Structure 1
């Protein structure tokens, strides 16, 4: 959470749409660029912290559970993409998303840098 609270750190991560991340092995629909797709499946932790899961009236346990949901979501995408790109003939979109994560993990300001040791076979 300290990383997220520092406004100088990047809080974006591939998050919102696991189903569509999975379904892009064959490429993107015609007319949809990688950048548009990336924007659609990315989220910002700070924005999501302003949602109902972090209401001021919640207790510490509820806040912790909601916060861990970010961690679970990030790890789920890392596991999926890591598995896909290390199989035969991964799709271009999956390779592009994986490359974004690899670049971000080496940027100490990125939230993905917190998962540097979590990435396998990178």
Structure 2
């Protein structure tokens, strides 16, 4: 996995096979401004990747794969699984944090 991520610049591999951080991987650290760590943890949960493997079945039947896989709708599941819910909320907050400042600044200018 590290070599794959190094091949696209997320990490760097040195001549001895050791891996280091790049500017992109710095954003995976929790204490850096603009950290995407919580968003990555959110998007790599089973609740996100398992339903994508059912896309063909969804197209054929029109049924939501999440409900079938997890026996309940998405937000009900997040309520019933505290850890998944907390990871989801932290991930969504981290993504919102990236957008909130620019959105607010866009409304601070003059309006005609």
Q: Shorter-chain TM-score: which interval?
A: under 0.3
**Larger helix proportion of the pair:** 2
Q: Return the TM-score normalized by structure 2.
A: 0.26
* Larger RCO (CA within 8 A; separation ≥ 6): 1
Question: Which protein shows a greater Rg?
Answer: 2
Could you tell me the TM-score, scaled by structure 1's length? 0.25
